[in-house]
Each structure stands twice: as C-alpha cells, then as structure tokens.
Chains A and B, each alone.
Chain A
Amino acid sequence: MESILHGVEGYMYPNEMELQWSILIVLYPYITGLVAGAFILASLERVFRVESVRPTYRLALLTALAFLLVAPLPLQLHLGHPERSVQMYLTPHTASAMAMFGFVYLWYLMVVLLLEIWLDYRKDIVRLAGSTTSPLRHVYRVLTLGSRDVSEEALRADDRVGYVITLVGIPSAFLLHGYVGFIFGSVKANPWWSTPLMPIVFLFSAIVSGIAAVMLLYMAATRMRGAEIDMRCVDTIARYLFYAFIIDFSLEMLDLVHRIYEADESFHTLDFMVKTRLYLPHIIVQIVLGTLLPLGLLALTQLVKLTDGARRGTYALAGVLTLIGIFAMRWNVVIGGQLFSKSFLGYTTYKMEFASREGLLAAIVLMILPFLILWALVELLPPWTDATAEARHQA
C-alpha cells in the first residue's frame, strides 16, 4: 500500500487510491469481444449468405467457443469469493447489469453457440463416432446424443433450426458484449465511463477484434496445414473489417469531440489524464498504432491493386495491429477510468503485479488458454475436412 501512496498525485479519496479492477477485468471484455466478433463473422455466411467467407464459418464458431469457455476465468480469479459466484444465478439482482450477464452468458453458450456448432457438425460427429478407433470415439458417441440419423430430412431440419439459431444469435451476440459496455456505461459516478455510447462502442470494437482474430487464425491455420489461402475469402473479410473499423472509429471520435466541445466538470481532469498518464496507451497505442495505421493499411488494399502476397502481408499486419489496438482500448477504458479521482483533483497509478492472482502472468496464461482450447477443438471437430460438408451447405 505504501508504494501506491507514492504514485498518487494531487488528491484522491482515501479509499480510491488502490485500483479496484485489474488487468483481468481488461481481459474480460477483450475476450467476450472476440467471441461476439467471431460469431458475427460466422453469421455473415449463415444469415446474410456472404458465401465467400464460408471457409471461415466453422473456424469462427470454434474460435467463439474457445474464447467463451475462457471468459469466466478472469472474473473468477478476480472475485474476492469465487465460490460464491453461483449466487448470481441463485439470487440475481435484476437491477444489476452484472447479474443479468450470468444468464446472457449461459443463454449464449448453451442455446446459441453449442447448439449451432452441434447442428452444423452433427453429420461429421455421427461419421466420426462410427469410424474413429481411438478413445476419442467415446466422446463422439456422447456427442451424437444417441441419434445416428443423418438422412436428408434430418439434415434439412438441422439446417433450418441452425438458421433460426444464428438469426437469434446475432442479437444475442450484441447483447453478450453490449452488456459489458453497459456495465461501464451505466456507472454515473465515473464520467470516463458514463455515456450511452459505451455499449455501442464496445460492440463495434468487439466486431472489429473478432473479425481480425478469425482472419488471422484462418491465414495462420491454413498456412500450418500447408493448404492454399482462399484470397476471395480473406479479401471479403478484410473489407468487412474495414467497414466495421470505420464505424468504430467514428463512434469513438464522436465521443471524443462531444467531450471536448461540452467540456463539463470532468473534462479538465480527463483531458490532463489522457495527455499524461494515458498518453502512451491511448494516443500512441490505441489511436495511432491500433486504429489509424490499420485503417490506413486496409484503405490501401481497397484503393490500390496489390499482389496476393502483398495483400496477405498487409492484412496480417493490419490484423495484428487491430488486436493490439482493441486491447489498448479495453485497457484505456478499464484502467483509465480508475486512474483519476472522483474528486477530479488527483491521479493514482496502476501497480500491476506479475505472479499474483490478478497479475500479468495470470493474464498471459488466460490469453494463451483459448488458443490451446481452440487447437483441441480443431482436432476434435475439424473445420475443414471434406467437400461433403461444403456440398451440404450449398444444398
């Protein structure tokens, strides 16, 4: 605690010198954002019939699942009493956005994601249940739920139900990540967070990060398999990334311009914070490197005819910068919102530990975990096996 005192400048209420929400709470909206974004990309194909992105359909769903499974972990590590977290399901306070999330999460996981993945993979699951000789065959058998019916009628029924689920899944994905924005946006005590734009800004930055993540994963995984990257697919994804990014950037600029113009009582302290303690993460990393640069690179690919290789490299670079930039955005919202005093008279610092329960190491492990889970999922339910899966979609 003594070290925190030294990091305080000006006046902070005594109880607010130590930050309440750590890097794990930065990680959480980042992860759920990737889930929502990946799902929106998948829904592009399923609902909006953008068939050029079909090669990424299954990968996007598995990515969403892998990240969704990890999403509660940073929260559990953060809670003072994680063993009591089930209380959110037993006695949810309906006035609290945080409580209602528990149900949105469950809904999204069970009814949207798991069901959609199961329906899309069912034919392969049935086939693998019969053909696999390794112990994995038991897993497939359980996954068939006892039914081996893969007749045309059954598959058509699957397709119809899957369509409806994706349709329902789009607003569900919006809700999943929009609520995170609302968790911050509804806190009137904190002027950095309190704005009706917050859920929308969070949502569009989620879409941007999810699309970028799937794009990068697709390119990397295809390369690792030694297969050919479908450029038509990647070009389309990049175009949607570009559009989403423009909307996201416009929303963030709207918020900024509005704040500067109205210059209410909190403006002076927030302005000072952005220009000093938040200069590197906000101006340099989030805006310049994480938004303007990738936007410029993507615009370049839209305006100038580049070779396939050049485009791939540009997309990869833009994708990585985007992911870094969106992480920085989460950091700036969560950490930035706690660096200034609610008295508007002072600032504190965030002393991030390394090996503690809420430290950097935990954050790194939690960011690696979804990729491990994704790898396992891809092994269990390969997204890119046969042409018959493609044919069923086209039917």
Chain B
Amino acid sequence: MILAFLNITWPVFADALALGGIFALMAVGIGLVFGVLRLVNFAYGQLMMAGAFALAYGDQWGLPNWLSILFCFGVVLVLSVLLDHLVFRPLRMHSPAVMLVATFAVAFVLQNIALIAWGSFGKTAGSLGVWQAPWDIHGVYIRKIAIIAIVTAAVCLVLLQLLLTRTPVGLHMRAASMDFRTARLLGVRANRVIGGAVLISGLLAGVAAVMLSVEQPQITSTWALPETIYVLMGVVLGGLNRPIPATLGGFSIGFAFGLLGGILPSSQSQYLPSFIFAAVIVVLLVRPNGLFTRGAAPVERV
C-alpha cells in the first residue's frame, strides 16, 4: 500500500533490493580488507571486471554456466592474491592515504590493461542473460535476476556472519580489525588473517561480478568502476570500520539508487551522485571517529 502511494511498483522495489544486495556484498568485500589491512581498495571494481571478462570468455568458449562461474571465481581470487602480495603487503607500513593512492594507481593499470587487451568495446558476457527474464508471481513480473541477487546476497551475508561470529578464524579477523597489534601478541597469525580476508573479499567480488554481469552484460574496461565509487561512498557513510554498518551503508546506496532511479524522471535523478557525495562529506566532518579508528587510537584531527 505504501509502495503504491509512492508510485513504487513491485518490480522496481525488487530491482532496488537486488542492487542493494549486490552493493552490500561489495561493501563487505571492501570492508573486510579495510578492517585488517587499513586499505581502501579502490581497485575492487577492477577485480570484479576481471571476473566478468572471465565470464565473457566462458560464454565465448561455450562453457556451461557453472563452469564459467567457477572460472570467474578463479580469476578473481588469483588476481586478489597477486595484488595482495605485490602491492598491498609491501605498502602495509604506509598510511591509509598512501595505500588509497596506490590502489588508485592499480585500478588504472588494470583498467588500461583491459582497454589494451579488449579495446573500448570489450566483450559480452551473455550466457547468464536468461536471468533477465521475468518470473510471473501473482500477476507481477519480477526479473529472475532480482530474486536471485536478493537471495544470494542474503545467503552470503548470513554465512559470513556465521563465519565471523562462530568460528575461530572469524574471531581472529574481528579482533585483528579492532587491534591488530594486541591480537598478534595473543597468537593470532597475521598472515592467515590477512590472507583469509583477501580470499573472502575475492569470493564476494566474484559473486557480485556474476550478479552485475546480468545487469550489464557488456564488459568494458570501466565495468563496475562507477559502482565501486558509490559502494565506497556508501561504506564510508555507514562506517568503514565495522562490518555491519559498512554493509548497511553499501546496501542503502544501492537501494536508493535502484529506487530513485526507477521512480524519478532522469532530470531529477541525475544529481543523485552529488547528494551522496555531499552526505559523505557531512558524515566525515561530523562523525569521523566512528569511521577511521584503529582500536583505541584516535582519528587524526586538526
């Protein structure tokens, strides 16, 4: 009833939830790595892009869907681990700002490698396109991908929550993101925790890539870049340092985009990014402590 009042139809609502779900997964992926490494991975979208290109190749080689998806995961994971060893770990002793600049550079390198390899037209990952088809639910047509994305995101988030709260590895990760130094003194293995975070982050990137590729089957060098920026902003809005707020932040941005994009005419929704950016600035000014502390250390403030 409320939805009808606001002129929101079920399909639009479902799509918005789905986008929110995808963004939420990306937010967790980014947030996990930030928690243990204090690294904001600007290149996260490019990791997804690599996975999407893998999907495109799977499509081209006529692989069955499940195999394409596995290939996608493989590529993303390998690339994540490579990046971690070559770029993130050597830079670990630098400030988070320097690390942000480094991932910025890496994002551009990957982007342009894709441009060189596949040109500005890129490749098409069309085999999952069947999920664009709608399901008829009581007379309402909701796209299959919307339901799949919502369910997948929910399942992943629940599994992750279980991992973080019920397993020793999860406990170690949480402790490490609160106070790495003390955690190590208690015997928590730094390399394992970081490696675990990178791995899970990569898996989530893979899932998000698969979902997003249905929405945007044309994989180009800047695929997932705008989404990464918006997710980053959402994570900052929600709370970079804590997994649940970060997830909520990512979800909210995605949901807002999906909803407002679906109900507002484009002349009104074109300034939506500015509002989000402005909100981020306000949050950074008003509540920086919740966003950028490491354990008990205070945030840098003038």
Q: Do A and B come from one complex?
A: no
Using a CB–CB cutoff of 8 Å, the interface residues on chain B facing chain A are none
